[in-house]
Amino acid sequence: MSKAKRPEPKRVRPDDVDPQRGRLKGRSPDEAYRAHVEAGFTLSKVDRASLLIAFSKRSKAKVQRGSITINGNVWTCPELDGRSGEWIGVLKGRFYDWPMVPLYDLSDESRIIGYAEPHDAVDGNDPANAREQKQRERRYNARVRELTKIAPPADLIADTIASAASLPAPAQAPIDATIIPTPGAAEIVAAVTEPKEVRESRRRRKAEAEHYKRLAALRNDPKKEASQ
């Protein structure tokens, strides 16, 4: 019994070089864009931090037992202690969850209260969770093996690179302005994008500094030291 022959991969051709009907009137998107650039079109560059803030949204959450619930998950931070029953503002990602979310005062949106992090309530060592994870892995691997048998051996990335090499370079519009975040927004972005290991190291250093500060205060005050 002979094996079915796999179909040959199709040559990838970028759509921006093909003539199109409608408003382009037979021109390709690349030709239309080049015409705009030659007519004086310029770009405004947007800082990555500004985009992060632009694609965010504000909401509010009620503090319960030192934590809040966002998208069904529990988040917490030390600043929520003692605020049970209060409503606070939450700045979060519009399309995905940030590793930590800024919390602000509803009466003053510019005042950041603190930064909440996810509260891991599920025990990763729980046998039921481990079995579910194993089942997911088996289903995923089975699906991958199935697709490997029927999928054509196409390398879309290599084909796209080969096609692009034969095309003229696209027009480059000059940049006449750069949009940057305000100092307050920059502070939020820095906190949200800070790597976890850096954040934990900074907290350890802060806790150690406070500990040594208290020890120094006790040594400089004989009465306090005697009362300890």
Burial status of residue 125 (CB atoms within 10 A of its CB: 0-12, 13-18, 19 or more): exposed
Greatest pairwise CA separation for the chain in angstroms:
96
| Lowest-confidence region among 16-30, 60-74, 151-165, 171-185 | 151-165
Q: CA-CA distances (angstroms) from residue 74 to 70, 101, 112?
A: 6, 12, 19
Rounded CA-CA distance 60/29 in Å is 43
What is the pLDDT at residue 8? 47
User: pTM (2 decimals)?
Assistant: 0.52
What is the pLDDT at residue 139? 67
What is the pLDDT at residue 123? 47
The domain locations on the chain are 10-41, 42-179, 195-227
Mean pLDDT of all residues in the chain?
A: 76
Asked if pLDDT for residue 152 goes beyond 70, the answer is: no
Residue 131 confidence class, pLDDT cut points 50, 70, 90: low
CA 27 to chain centroid, in Å, comes to 37
| Lowest-confidence region among 16-25, 94-103, 154-163, 209-218 | 154-163
Residue with token string 């802060």: 206
What is the pLDDT at residue 1? 46
The residue among 22, 45, 24 whose CA lies nearest residue 33 is: 24
Rounded CA-CA distance 42/39 in Å is 9
Cα dihedral 128/130/136/141 (nearest 10): -150
25 conformational bin, left if phi > 0, alpha if psi -120 to 50, beta if neither: left
What is the pLDDT at residue 103? 94
Contact between 70 and 210 under an 8 Å Cβ cutoff? The reply is no
* Span 82-92, pLDDT tens digits: 888 999 999 98
